Each structure stands twice: as C-alpha cells, then as structure tokens.
Amino acid sequence: MPKKDFIIVAIDGGAAAGKSSTSRALSKHFNLMHVDTGSFYRATTVKLLEAKVPAEAGPALNNWLSSLKLGTHIDGTSASIVVNDWIPDSSIRSEKVNANVSHYAAIPELRKFLLDYQRNQARIAREKGFAGLVMEGRDIGSVIFPDADLRLYLYADPAKRAARRAAEGLTDSIEKRDAMDENRKTAPLSVPEGATLVDSSELTLEEVVEHVSQLVSEVQAQ
Ligand code: DC
C-alpha cells in the first residue's frame, strides 16, 4: 500500500531519450498527472515564430510575454498547456519547431516566465485528485522540482535516439538540440546531483518502464 498520498517524479534527459513514453506509462500505471514541459517550449516557439519575435532577450519578447495568457487543459492523465486559448496540436513537433525551439528555450526571460507555471502543475494535480505528478523535461530535477520524490535522468546513445525518431517518421536535429540545451547558461540539461541515471540504450520500452515503476513503487512506500 502506498504510504505517500502524493508524489512528484521528475524525468530529465536529452531529445528522444524515451522520456514521453516512459512518463505516459507511469502516469497511467500510478494515476500521476503527466506534464511534458518540452511541449511548453514547443508551443511558445510556434507562437513566437508566428508573431515574428526573434529568439533573443529584448523588448519584442518582453511585450509578447506581457500579453501571454496561459491555461491548462487536462485530457485523461495528461495535462497540456493552453497558449492564448490555443491547445497545441501536432504542429509543435514540426521540423521548423525542432530547429528553433532550443534557441527560444535558451532565453532566461522565457524560462523565468514558465517557471511558476510549471511548479503550479503540482497544485493542479493535487486539486484534480491525482496520486502525484510526473513531469518530464531538461531541468525538472535540477531547477523546477529539486526536492522531487524521485529524480530520474534517462539516457540513450545518440544513434539509438536518432533511430527512434526515424521510426516515428520524424526528422529531428537531436545532437544539435542536445548540444544547445547542454551548453546554455540558464538551466542547462545536466544530470541533477543525486538523480538516478537510467541507460535505456540496450533496453526495450517495457524494460525501462518496469525498472522505473519499481523505483516509483519504492518511493510511494517510504
Ligand atoms: O522534450 P522536447 O524534445 O520536446 O523539448 C523541446 C525543447 O524544449 C528542447 O530541445 C529543449 C527545451 N526544453 C527545455 O529547455 N527545458 C525543459 N524543461 C523542456 C524542454
């Protein structure tokens, strides 16, 4: 029997490391609200490109941020961001967004704007009666929820990740994005201190989910 009535699971890792599939499986199995923070940066990138706001700090970005209205839409166990009344669709996974998202995600002002929104997802998950929150991204265990009950870092070697994307029929600049995400000044992608590293290079999704589910069960029982 779980002793904890609410847990936070933070999952970080590079592009196509298997974060979304793993998070979705955990969310269903443990009734955790699933939040994919990459989709936040992707959705804002779609809108910033549409508004022709350059990927740099400055008045254009500040003006845009000051008129930004964010909401949350819950579908099953997944919560998605709503940007100015728009519920993001598959356009957030386009090649254009893949090529631009890391540039916008490196801007401290945008990250700061999304910080409270991300932390607030835990409150929403509690209010909606979930048994916890599973949040995936690049800085969840390091910046957003450094005190999460479980902090995981998913790793898979780049060739395996490129093959996964190709199998999904998607073109993605995985290594380029990783390099930008790892080298930016604000909240770079890194293995948070004390996080559990899971190398999925030689594992199937089922094996990863089984391993990680065991870790979640242990945390719930503490
Ligand atoms: O997880 P993803 O590949 O959909 O994320 C898209 C981009 O968003 C990624 O290249 C970097 C950025 N991102 C971030 O900077 N911080 C997060 N917590 C999540 C994503």
pLDDT tens sequence across 60-79? 999 999 999 999 999 999 99
Does the structure show a pLDDT above 80 at 188?
A: yes
Ligand 1: centre distance to CA 31 (Å): 24
Ligand 1: centre distance to CA 102 (Å): 7
Give nearest CA residue, ligand 1 atom 11.
102
Q: Quick check: CB of 181 below 6 Å from ligand 1?
A: yes
Q: Quick check: CB of 18 below 6 Å from ligand 1?
A: no
Give nearest CA residue, ligand 1 atom 6.
38
Ligand 1: centre distance to CA 139 (Å): 9
pLDDT of residue 170: 78
Q: Quick check: CB of 41 below 6 Å from ligand 1?
A: yes
Six-digit token string for 10 = 């933070």
Distance CA 111, CA 115 (A): 6
Over residues 21-63, the pLDDT tens digits come to 999 999 999 999 999 999 999 999 999 999 999 999 999 999 9
Structural domain 7-220, CATH architecture: 3-Layer(aba) Sandwich (3.40)
Six-digit token string for 93 = 């996974």
Does the structure show a pLDDT above 70 at 1?
A: no
Distance CA 109, CA 202 (A): 38
Give nearest CA residue, ligand 1 atom 15.
105
CA distances from 83 to 105, 132, 168 (A): 16, 24, 26
CB atoms within 10 A of CB 18: 25
Atom of ligand 1 nearest to the CA of 106: 15
pTM (2 d.p.): 0.95
CB atoms within 10 A of CB 191: 16
Ligand 1: centre distance to CA 123 (Å): 22
